[in-house]
Amino acid sequence: MDSSGWIEYLTDSKRADLFAVPIEQRDLLLVPTIALFEVHKVLSRSLPQALVDGCLDVMRKGRVLDLTDRRAIAASKVARQHRLALADAAMYSMAQEHGATLWTQDIDYDGLPGVRYFAKSSGNVIGKALGKAL
């Protein structure tokens, strides 16, 4: 799950249901530390810290994946191959490492194998805020 999906789910947006199934399968859920960073960055702009902390605790119910040196090199290779930014490449390569599907609204992943992409609607204010924040 990338940050855009988490934000939809945690804010209970109209698109939250698109991401509910994989997020609620906690035994299979992978949470890159970069997703924690991005979600914290976006939510802390508009929510009280206690609520943001609660959202991060929900994320931590999955398996948190650190960006190790080995994963950083794998992400660099993915970034070069698919022309992805650091955070996107790290999340994508971690999903690939585990044979997982990456759920996202980020157009940079559209068409990549192992990605479940949902195009953002033009009225998606949170998605626009996330895009501007990152």
Residue 56 belongs to a domain with what CATH number?
3.40.50.1010
Cβ(93)–Cβ(2) below 8 Å: no
122 token code pair = 């033009």
For the entire predicted model, the pTM comes to: 0.85
Cβ(97)–Cβ(74) below 8 Å: yes
What's the pLDDT band for 120 if we cut at 50, 70, 90? confident
| pLDDT more than 90, % of the chain | 89
Domain count, the chain: 1
Strand ranges in 43-123 using DSSP code E only, listed in sequence order: 63-65, 102-104, 115-117
Q: Please state whether 84 falls in left (phi above 0), alpha (psi between -120 and 50) or beta.
A: beta
Domain that holds residue 104: 3-133
